[in-house]
Amino acid sequence: ADMLDEVRAAVAPEGTELTWVPSAWLSAREVTPAMLPLWSGDDDPMFALAMDPSLALANGLLPRPLGQTAADTLSWSEETSSGWDTRGGHLSSQGEVDLLSQWADR
């Protein structure tokens, strides 16, 4: 939740609120992890996106602020040359609105 709050603060329009929806509900509506990049497709976040950074750190790489990484990644994904759309793309704004409406009406 803290990670997503930081991403939201960096890249989401003012007033954006996060809505927690069960993975099974999303999967039943054919939403895939490729459409929601920080979602593993499971409700259990344990080890999701977990990696050992020791090799990178040993070679002089340093972590950047999460918000900066989120903003740069969003910018990159919007470039045609990124190939993002060929990997299933991300959930469209209208698709998100539709899902949130369905969730609210359940």
pLDDT tens sequence across 37-68: 778 888 776 666 678 889 999 999 999 999 99
CB 41 within 8 A of CB 23: yes
| Residues 12-40, mean pLDDT to the nearest whole number | 89
Number of H helices, E strands in the chain: 5, 0
Backbone angles phi, psi at 15, to 5 degrees: 90, 0
Token pair recorded at residue 96? 């998100």
C-beta separation of 31 from 90 below 8 A: no
Question: What is the arithmetic mean of pLDDT over 26-40?
Answer: 86
Structure token pair of residue 38: 């920080």
Percentage of the chain with pLDDT > 90? Answer: 55
For 72, residues 6+ apart whose C-beta sits below 8 A from its C-beta are: none
Q: What is the pLDDT of residue 82?
A: 79
pLDDT band (50, 70, 90) for residue 26? very high
